[in-house]
Amino acid sequence: MAPTLKDTATSVAGGRSARLRKALVASQVAVSLLLLIGAGLFLRTLDNLLAVDVGFDTRTLVSFTVDPSLSGYAPAESKQLATALLDRLGRAPGITAAGLAAQRLLDGSQRTADITVEGYRPAPDEDMDQNWNTVSPGYFRAMGIPVLRGREFEARDAASARE
């Protein structure tokens, strides 16, 4: 009788561990399936984002950030460095246009200013904050943004503009 009880105990214990193994495998398959679905949705979203028309030509655009203050440049020296960098980039082979901006487009950073229009009274819930950016001559051409009316900024515009 003892051997029979031993065999029964082993088969019962083996049955529990087999059920546990099956449950773990099923859980792993379910988690793997969820991860695959999530990865597929991520790739589809990425593909959709790459197809969005952002309003300027991104095919030949190279964008980078330079912060001269991190190297100890004073504001006046930073302006000189920016002017020299823009001049050198504009003369480099293969560069069709170069421009500078205080804020890169679509990077999440922005400058805002509250505006007032003489004779206009905004509604109580109307936001009069506007995003703005400081750009150099050649910026719109470099970004592939057509100027629909008027003209691009020129270097002489900065001399008479308010800083």
Q: pLDDT tens, 35-75?
A: 999 999 999 999 998 888 887 777 888 888 888 999 999 99
Position 60 in a domain: no
Same domain, 46 and 85: no
Amino acid 5: pLDDT: 55
> Count of domains in the chain?
2
Same domain, 113 and 146: yes
Is the pLDDT at 10 greater than 60? The verdict is no
Task: Give backbone dihedrals phi and psi of 12, rounded to 5 degrees, phi first.
Answer: -70, -45
Distance set, CA 116 to CA 8, 126, 129, 162 (Å) = 88, 12, 9, 17
Position 85 in a domain: yes
Q: What is the pLDDT of residues 119-129, one digit of tens each?
A: 998 888 888 88
pLDDT > 90 in the chain, percent: 31
Same domain, 46 and 81: no
Same domain, 105 and 137: yes
Amino acid 84: pLDDT: 92
Position 148 in a domain: yes
Range of the domain at 119: 68-160
Same domain, 43 and 72: no
